[in-house]
Each structure stands twice: as C-alpha cells, then as structure tokens.
Amino acid sequence: MAIPESHLDLVNLRVRLQTISEVITQFQPLTPRPPIIDSSYEALGVTVNDTNKEGEINEKGTSWLHPEPIPGLRKLKEDIGIDLGVLEKFLDQPNSETLPPLSTNAPYVIAVWNEVLCAPQPVVDIFKTFLETPAGNAAEETAHIAKAKRVTGGKRHPPAAKVDVVADGGRRWIRVNTIKNSRLLSEFCEIDSYLADTDSEPEDELDQPAPTQLDNSVIRMARSLLTAAHANPVLVNGVQYTPNVTLRLTRLDPTALTSRGQPVDKRIGETIKLLEQLGVTVELGERSPTVIHDLEEKSMRTAQMRPTSQSSFSSGDFVPTININLDLSVLIALISDLTHAALPTTIEEANGRFVPPPEYREWKAKQRQMGGMSGKKTRRITDETISTPSPGESTPSPPPWSTLTAEALETDINDLPRDLFKHARSLTNQLLQEMGKGMLQELYDRIEAGIQDEAQRNGGLRPRVVFWTTREARDRCLGIVAKIGGVYERRRAKGLFQVSSLAEVSKAGWDQRCEKMDVDEAEKLYWLGSRFEKGFVPLLPMRIYEDDVVVDGPDGGTQPVDSETRSPFSRVLQKVCVDMLSEGPVPHPRSLPDNVVSTPPLASAAEANLGPSTVLPLDGFNPDVQIQRAKVTKANPRLTAHTVESMLRGAERGWTTLTANRTSVKTILKEVRAVGWQDNIDPDETEGGDGTASGKDVDAKLKAAIWVVDPRSLAEGMSIFATRN
C-alpha cells in the first residue's frame, strides 16, 4: 500500500527532527567573549565540557569566561525529543498507513529552531515570557490581574506575551505562528456570525465591546507582543532599547487560491498590512532549506574546531595593551618574596619553607597573651637593616634564620598550630604555582606578545611598555609592606615607588619622596636578590595617575586618552565603575576602631630636603598599629572602592588592567553583563547582512581589558629564611 501524502509529510518531519536532534546537542551560542586574559593557575586544564547534571557549566576554572548557556535551549531540545519520539512511535506501527494523520507540534519547534540559527546574534533567550505591565508599576499590575481574574475565572495570571527567540542581544523578539489560511478563515466566520447576532443578544457579561474593525488571533498576538516590548526595554552596552517585534508566519499565504481557483479572503492580506502598520516585522513562509543546512553544517564545524579550554581562548585571542594599569593586588605581588626568591627544588622543600621555628611560635604566643599584637611596642626593622648595599656587595648577607639547624625546624606545615597552618598553606600553594610558571615570566611572555603585535602594525617599531597605578593603590601598598613586609620586600617597595617623575609635585608627601631616587638606582634596589635579571620586566619608572588626567606619559608629557578606540567592553566597564562609585564608599563591615589604625602621613620638611641618593626608610607607618580595612562600594559590598577605582582608570583609557583579584573581576563581570554588554562576536559567524556583531575595530577586539594573574602574598616574614629581629 502506498504511503498517504499526509504520512509522507510526517516522514519528512521525522527526518528533520532527527537532524536537529543531532545538531542541537553540539550547538554552542555565538555569545560575546569578554576580553579578559586569565593567567591564573586554575585556568590550566579545565575543559569546556565541565558541566553539572543540569547541563550548565560549573563555576570553577575558567568557566566564568565561557559563553553562558542560552536559557530555554534545553527546553527546545526536550520538545524536539518528545515530538521525535511521538512521530517514531506512530510511523513504526505496522498499520500506520491506514491510521488518520497524526497531529503534531513538530512544525512549530522546527520553525523555532530555524529562527535560533538565522536570528541576529547573539540569541539570549528561547521561550521567554514577558509581562505586559512595566516592572514596578504595582497599581497597573493589580488592575491587569483583576481583569485577568474575571476573564480566566479566578486565576491570577497577569497578561503576558510569549517570545520564541530573543535575539540581537535582546533588541529583537521573534514569535513563530504556524496558523494556516483555513484556521484564520474559520476565525473570520466566527466573527461574522458574532456580528450578525450582536443586535439580538444582551450586552456581554465581560463588558467586551463588539469588534468594529479587523480582529483575529494573529493581530491580538501582535498587540500583546508590542505592549510587552514597550514594558520591557532592554539594556545593550548601557543604552536602553525597545525590542523590535518580528512575526514569522510559516504557513499563512495571502496569495493562495481556494480549491475553486478563487483568491482567498482579502482579510488575510489586510491582517498582514495591519501588522506592519502596528510596527511589527512580518516574515512569511519557512526559512530556506539550503540556508538552514549550511548554518547547521557550520555549527557542527565550529563546535569541532573550538578549543577545549579557556586558556586557549585567552592566550590566542587577547594581548595586553602597551599601557598597563596595575591594581593593589598586583603591586603586592610584584613586591612579594614569592615572586623573586629562589625556588625550591622539590615539593617537599616547598612544604617546609613556611614553617616558623618553635621559638618563634613561643614568642608569638607570649605576645598574644601580653596583648603585644595590638598594643605593646615591638622591635622594628631599622633603616640600616634595609639600606642599599655597598657598591661592591653583589649578594645580600645570609639572614640569621639560615643558621638554624635542621633539628630546630619542623619540615611539614601540617605540624603547625591551626592559626599558622591556614596562612602557611596559602603561601605554600602560591609557591607551588610560582614553581609551575613564575608570575614575572608570565608577564614577560604576554607583554612580549603585545609588543610584537604592535610592532607588526607599526612597521616593526617596538613600543615601550608603561605601567600605571593609582595614588591610593600605591599608598595602601606602602602601608601594607611597612606593616608586614620583610627586608627584601621593603627594598623592592622603595625601588618600585620612589622613582615616579610627575608633571606636578602632589601635596601628598609620598610623591616628594618618590622624586628623590634615581631611576637606575631604584631599579638596582628593586631587583636586588631577585632570581631574575635587572629589568627583566620594565616596571620602572612607575607612573601615577593624577585625579582627572594622565600625566607624565612615555614621551615626557601628558598621555592623551583616545576614547574612540576603546572597545564596547571598556566603555560599559567604565559606566559600571562610575555608577558604583557615584553612590559613594562605605566602611567595611569589619572595619577596625579608629584608635588602632594608621593612615599614610605627609612627608616632613626634612624628608623633602634629603638628597637624591638617600634611601628613605618606610617610617610613615607604625607597624604596631593596624591598617584600616579598605572601604567598600555601597552598590556592592564585595567590591572595595579602590578596586573599582583601579578598574575605572584602565577602562576609561582603553588600557589593560592587571589584577590578582580574581573574585572581584568575576563580580564586576556580572555587573557588566547585567547592563547588556555586547561585543566580540566573529562577524563571519553571524547571518549575512543581518548580524550585529561588532567587528569594526579589529585592534580593539584583540586588546584585553582585564588580565588576571594568581596572587602573591607578602611571604618573607613567614619564611624559614626570614630575618629574626
């Protein structure tokens, strides 16, 4: 028996669903990748397929940089599987040819999938429902709910519109409608019958006036979508848009003829015209099978070619800018003894490096009992201890701790008391990371890649890398080093910060101190005792931002800010930072009392008149007084104000911000995504002529806005080689 034509349609639907089921499993959305380099240890070896049982990427490793799954994609996949199963069960029956045609939802889910492929990227949602009432309008929402209760028999469902595909970063709503001519004609017949009986029937109980103009389910759907679109504007790169509504009418044909060869009811064509007059984009018919096939093939190839870890993304796609903005966490890391000291040769040696001797622990316990940690005077490291070595001295003298016998030291951090174990373990982990790849080596490699990239564009001319930081980050760093830094860490702090040549001498005393040391002398002091050669990374001289402008550029004058070359990410990041800072900082929830904290003092007149060869001690901070916790932003207490300020300095100039504060970057990235940032989608991967990928400035795409490295704490004081005072 020949297969009926209606059943042939079902067979074709099954084949199509089988193809979609295979493609959708490997489908990855074309969502923007943040221009962030993640050089942290966790970035190594984490695969894209690291998902939980819900199919979502786990929040570890570099998954926070991966494109987020499209909400609703899983639901679409499930619907496709359900319809495929129903079709297969029906067609596999021996007598299916004799059965009536099966009613299936397959044409609808297939059309939705086609829109996901063809829609302007990025697609941000599937099967999303939007309320017709503006968010926060309680009075209007209550009125809508009351009306809905009357219409629906008591159910509290406010009017809402379903959108099948939210595309173009939220700026376009696409709704699929598979209504046929025959169904719409039936609606017209019902309306005609209703109008004919209106004069003989009492007023409708629901107080609904009789329609006096063209009306049907398609028009009502469009009106609902338009109302919801105006009630739900979308933020894209900080700009508010009202979504454009598109209706895909896959099976409606105003040019078709009836079985008698007559034109169909003219109201079908009038319906489409009215939709367009309302502001709806109307698209008739199915998508081209050839276009769909090509897009599915491309999606499969893209999934196979994409790297398996985010480290491949970050190392290959983004390079740092020539001007690099440093935050407080990186300043500490650049001074840390972990970054510079000789590395252990074995893991066992690393595990024993941060094990203070028993006599130190006994002394610390006594200090706690006497209240010495907060109130008693303790001996300080003097200026002679950290002074510049004589010209003939090439290596520092062995510290007293190195003379301790092996019996005086415990060799495993697991033997430490609980209060010291946590800190020692953290330092040991950082040391092991440094043994894997040193932070300075990572900086050198990435910066060199950026220099080569610039040189290639500038005819082989290699630019000079310049490092910048904020005044507050510098001052807080000096305070922290003065409080807990060791001998070499204090030397590095002096070398790193007392060399800036500003256009104007600030009223703050630290700037006067910084001008007293020659750059070459400071560089020698900074690299003294380091396992790296002098100038391995050109950190000096360190530039300091003024309040409103960048001063002392590489050419000796003011460094201009070219906002036009900044990427959309940097512009949105700037807006996020400005909005956070505009609410003002607030004290940290665990702030210390004012009587036990210290603040950076102004330099004295005597210090300001010291000669250029004088090495200044870090006497501005009392090590017996606690350093106040940094203030946090009112908008997000998890972010310190100085961290956001540092991010702002880089974002407003389009420079890479180097940070070791991975948690803060994650938090800020969430804020950036919340205001609708869109950028860095390959224009070749979007629909031809219809995509909205930002590929205007290739240079901006290649430059990282943020660069994350592993932290390096001040560790010299905890080392078994620390100087005993």
H or E element that contains 659: strand 656-659
- Total number of domains constituting the chain: 2
Residue 218 confidence (pLDDT): 95
- Same domain for 326 and 265: no
Look at 37-51, 310-324, 444-458 and tell me which has the smallest mean pLDDT: 37-51
Residue 89 confidence (pLDDT): 92
- Same domain for 488 and 537: yes
Q: Which contacts (CB < 8 Å, 24+ apart) does range 260-265 have?
A: 264/181, 264/185, 265/184, 265/185, 265/188
Residues 6+ apart with CB under 8 A from 677: 32, 34, 236, 237, 568, 569, 572
44 confidence band (pLDDT: 50, 70, 90): low
Average the pLDDT over 564-591 and give the result: 82
By residue count, the chain amounts to: 725
Q: Could you tell me if residue 67 is inside a domain?
A: no
- For 134-187, the pLDDT digits (tens) are 765 545 555 555 555 555 555 567 899 999 999 998 999 999 999 998 898 888
Q: Could you tell me if residue 621 is inside a domain?
A: yes
- Same domain for 335 and 218: no
- For 362-388, the pLDDT digits (tens) are 666 666 666 544 444 433 333 333 344
Look at 214-218, 281-285, 431-435, 495-499 and tell me which has the smallest mean pLDDT: 495-499
Look at 32-41, 138-147, 309-318, 582-591 and tell me which has the smallest mean pLDDT: 309-318
Q: Cα–Cα distances in Å, from 15 out to 11, 12, 85, 585?
A: 6, 5, 12, 60
Q: Of the ranges 260-269, 597-606, 697-706, which is most confident? A: 260-269
Q: Smallest Cα–Cα separation from 624: which of 443, 380, 317? A: 380
- Same domain for 249 and 325: no
- Same domain for 347 and 219: no
pLDDT greater than 60 at residue 653? yes
Omega cis (within 30) before 683: no
pLDDT greater than 70 at residue 425? yes
- For 260-314, the pLDDT digits (tens) are 778 888 889 999 999 999 999 999 999 999 999 999 988 888 766 654 444 333 4
Residue 52 confidence (pLDDT): 41
The share of the chain scoring above pLDDT 90, in percent, equals 36
Backbone φ, ψ for residue 513 (5° rounding): -65, -40
Residue 65 confidence (pLDDT): 72
Q: Cα–Cα distances in Å, from 55 out to 51, 95, 669?
A: 6, 39, 22
The residue with greater pLDDT, 334 or 626, is 334
pLDDT greater than 90 at residue 351? no
- Same domain for 713 and 608: yes
Residue 164 confidence (pLDDT): 97
Q: Could you tell me if residue 95 is inside a domain?
A: no
- Same domain for 231 and 194: yes
Q: Could you tell me if residue 674 is inside a domain?
A: yes
Residue 479 confidence (pLDDT): 84
pLDDT greater than 70 at residue 315? no
- Same domain for 333 and 272: no
Omega cis (within 30) before 100: no
Domain boundary among 286, 302, 325: 286
Q: Could you tell me if residue 73 is inside a domain?
A: no
Q: Could you tell me if residue 14 is inside a domain?
A: no
406 confidence band (pLDDT: 50, 70, 90): very low
Q: Are strands 585-586 and 632-633 parallel, antiparallel or unpaired?
A: antiparallel
Q: Could you tell me if residue 241 is inside a domain?
A: yes
Residue 503 confidence (pLDDT): 29
Residue 655 confidence (pLDDT): 95
Average the pLDDT over 189-217 and give the result: 65
- Measure the CA–CA gap between 722 and 725, rounded to whole angstroms: 9
Please work out, in degrees rounded to the nearest 5, the angle formed at the alpha carbon of residue 660 by the alpha carbons of 515 and 51. 165
Residue 646 confidence (pLDDT): 94
- Measure the CA–CA gap between 317 and 569, rounded to whole angstroms: 15
- Measure the CA–CA gap between 429 and 425, rounded to whole angstroms: 6
Residue 271 confidence (pLDDT): 93
pLDDT greater than 50 at residue 249? yes
- For 85-133, the pLDDT digits (tens) are 999 999 888 888 888 888 899 999 999 999 999 999 889 999 999 999 8
Tokens 């240890």 identify what position? Answer: 41
Average the pLDDT over 637-665 and give the result: 93
- Measure the CA–CA gap between 107 and 10, rounded to whole angstroms: 10
Task: Let me know: does 580 contact 639? Beta carbons within 8 Å.
Answer: yes
Q: Could you tell me if residue 98 is inside a domain?
A: no
Residue 497 confidence (pLDDT): 87
Look at 12-21, 88-97, 384-393, 527-536 and tell me which has the smallest mean pLDDT: 384-393
Residue 583 confidence (pLDDT): 86
Residue 200 confidence (pLDDT): 56
pLDDT greater than 90 at residue 42? no
How is residue 178 written in tokens?
């598979």
Task: Let me know: does 675 contact 575? Beta carbons within 8 Å.
Answer: yes
Domain boundary among 286, 303, 322: 286
Q: Which domain holds residue 133?
A: 119-198+212-286
The residue with greater pLDDT, 662 or 236, is 662
CATH code (residue 263)? 3.40.1350
608 confidence band (pLDDT: 50, 70, 90): very low
- Same domain for 321 and 189: no
The residue with greater pLDDT, 156 or 436, is 436
Q: Of the ranges 14-18, 130-134, 314-318, 543-547, which is most confident? A: 14-18
Residue type, 470: T
Domain boundary among 286, 301, 334: 286
Look at 69-83, 105-119, 312-326, 387-401 and tell me which has the smallest mean pLDDT: 387-401
DSSP letter string over 390-452? PTT--SPPPPGGGGS-GGGS-S-GGGS-HHHHHHHHHHHHHHHHHHHS-HHHHHHHHHHHHHH
Residue 222 confidence (pLDDT): 96
Average the pLDDT over 559-576 and give the result: 75
The residue with greater pLDDT, 439 or 548, is 439
- Measure the CA–CA gap between 646 and 577, rounded to whole angstroms: 9
In whole numbers, what is the pLDDT of the chain averaged over residues?
A: 75
Q: Is 569 left (phi over 0), alpha (psi -120 to 50) or beta?
A: alpha
pLDDT greater than 70 at residue 661? yes
Q: Are strands 234-236 and 239-241 parallel, antiparallel or unpaired?
A: antiparallel
- Same domain for 470 and 609: yes
pLDDT greater than 60 at residue 605? no
The residue with greater pLDDT, 56 or 368, is 368
Q: Smallest Cα–Cα separation from 267: which of 344, 329, 214, 206? A: 214
The residue with greater pLDDT, 389 or 645, is 645
- Please name every residue paired with 467 in a beta bridge, in sequence order, or none if there are none: 324
562 confidence band (pLDDT: 50, 70, 90): low
- Please name every residue paired with 319 in a beta bridge, in sequence order, or none if there are none: 703
Three-state SS string across 129-170, please? EEECCCCCCHHHHHHHHHHHHHHHCCCCCCCEEEEEEEEHHH
Residue 444 confidence (pLDDT): 96
604 confidence band (pLDDT: 50, 70, 90): very low
pLDDT greater than 50 at residue 235? yes
Task: Let me know: does 300 contact 21? Beta carbons within 8 Å.
Answer: no
Helices (H), 38-137: 73-91, 106-118
390 confidence band (pLDDT: 50, 70, 90): very low
Tokens 């106040």 identify what position? Answer: 628
- Same domain for 348 and 265: no
pLDDT greater than 90 at residue 415? no
- Same domain for 508 and 558: yes
